[in-house]
């Protein structure tokens, strides 16, 4: 029981990345400041051992294609921080701005875990984010992180952390996809990435989809991550996004689904694309961010504690049997 208690109080280290220059609209760079000051998150912190670590301020080299150098420098800093948290064996939670920060988050996690195995990733999003600089019409790098994590695109970005791809295609699942371009789709489908389009989520239900996704990203890995873009959800649950898309995931059903999947192998969580100035008067999006954190980590703690308690009972039973046989 002592071991279970220690795990239950393991620090959840929150790293912030205040970046927004790579997005379609400015504003996501303010997300970390708002989340850190959130009264909703403060309530969560009374129930979870959540502690803030470093907040990375983005390097400004311009917008669109001109942002490439700044994004590279920002992601290098973020990768350094996420790698340290993993190597310190703390729970990792990243609050990002625009989704380009995923290159930094998962490059750090992948390189930290490289000595023991590959990582998987469930990418919850309305978009594929799988453009490269050559295929993107806008040059917005928040639409490119998946391609770079798979090893395609700007040679400097793909080599953050180490020279190897940070994700293998069969270890990546995309959930809720409904707004994308043909170049992205062609790349991902050619590589064999499992894409759960919105129509499949609607037909099967998010619980069934998440259970399959969790299986797929853990069958060949030592653990997995969750990268959650708020625009993956229906706008009624997450109005504060810069690239809204209709017919998104029901956030309440998603949270219920979290209670049914195995989170014991969850290595890290990333929540991005919260654009505070677009939130409603009820701060619906801000509340969703806090709820996601609470339900993910309380569920994980419960699952780990349950596994440890069962293991302890089995061990005690085996010891009793040995004593009985010895007598």
Query: What is the per-residue pLDDT across 53-103, written as a single tens digit (0 to 9) for each?
Result: 999 999 999 999 999 999 999 999 999 999 999 999 999 999 999 999 999
Q: Report how far residue 144's alpha carbon sits from residue 133's, in angstroms, rounded to the nearest whole number.
A: 8
pLDDT top residue among 326 and 198: 198
Instruction: Mark residue 18 as left, alpha or beta (left: phi above 0; alpha: psi -120 to 50; beta: remaining).
Output: beta
CATH architecture of the domain formed by 2-326: 3-Layer(aba) Sandwich (3.40)
Contacting residues for 290 by C-beta, under 8 A, at least 6 apart:
38, 40, 41, 43, 44
Q: Report how far residue 148's alpha carbon sits from residue 107's, in angstroms, rounded to the nearest whole number.
A: 10
Burial 152-188 (b: 16+ CB within 10 A, else e): bbbeebbebbeeeebbbbbbbbbbbbbbbeebbbebb
Residues labelled catalytic:
99, 125, 127, 129, 142, 229, 231, 273
Of residues 172, 169, 178, 173, the one with CA closest to residue 127: 178
Residue 266 pLDDT more than 50? Answer: yes
- Judged by DSSP in three states, 197 sits in strand
Query: What is the per-residue pLDDT across 171-197, written as a single tens digit (0 to 9) for each?
Result: 999 999 999 999 999 999 999 999 999
Q: Report how far residue 257's alpha carbon sits from residue 30's, in angstroms, rounded to the nearest whole number.
A: 29
Residue 204 pLDDT more than 50? Answer: yes
Average pLDDT over residues 141-160: 98
Residue 5 pLDDT more than 60? Answer: no
Domain residue ranges in the chain: 2-326
Q: Is residue 151 classed exposed, middle or buried when 0-12, 13-18 and 19+ CB atoms within 10 A define those classes?
A: middle
Sign of the Cα torsion 229, 285, 269, 258 reads: negative
Contacting residues for 88 by C-beta, under 8 A, at least 6 apart:
13
Sign of the Cα torsion 239, 57, 60, 137 reads: negative
């Amino acid at each position: 029981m002592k071991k279970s208690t220690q795990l239950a109080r393991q620090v959840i280290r929150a790293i912030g990345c205040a970046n927004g220059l790579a997005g379609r609209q400015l504003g996501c760079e303010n997300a970390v400041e708002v989340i850190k000051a959130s009264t909703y998150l403060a309530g969560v912190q009374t129930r979870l051992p959540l502690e803030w670590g470093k907040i990375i301020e983005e390097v400004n080299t311009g917008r669109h294609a001109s942002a490439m150098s700044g994004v590279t420098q920002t992601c290098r800093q973020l990768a350094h921080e996420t790698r340290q948290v993993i190597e310190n064996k703390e729970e990792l939670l990243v609050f990002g701005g625009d989704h380009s920060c995923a290159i930094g988050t998962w490059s750090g996690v992948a390189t930290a875990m490289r000595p023991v195995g590959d990582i998987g990733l469930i990418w919850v999003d309305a978009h594929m984010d799988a453009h490269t600089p050559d295929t993107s019409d806008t040059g917005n790098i928040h639409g490119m992180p998946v391609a770079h994590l798979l090893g395609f695109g700007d040679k400097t970005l793909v080599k953050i952390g180490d020279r190897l791809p940070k994700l293998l295609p069969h270890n990546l699942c995309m959930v809720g996809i409904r707004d994308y371009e043909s170049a992205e789709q062609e790349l991902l489908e050619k590589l064999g990435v499992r894409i759960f389009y919105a129509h499949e989520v609607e037909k099967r239900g998010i619980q069934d989809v998440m259970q399959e996704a969790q299986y797929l990203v853990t069958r060949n890995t030592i653990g997995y991550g969750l990268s959650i873009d708020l625009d993956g959800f229906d706008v009624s649950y997450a109005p504060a996004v810069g690239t809204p898309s209709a017919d998104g995931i029901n956030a309440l059903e998603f949270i219920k689904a979290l209670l049914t999947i195995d989170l014991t192998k969850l290595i890290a969580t990333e929540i991005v694309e919260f654009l505070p100035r677009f939130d409603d008067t009820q701060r619906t999006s801000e509340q969703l961010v806090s709820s996601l954190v609470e339900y993910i980590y309380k569920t994980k703690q419960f699952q780990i504690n349950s596994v440890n308690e069962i293991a302890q009972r089995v061990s005690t039973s085996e010891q009793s049997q040995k004593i009985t046989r010895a007598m």
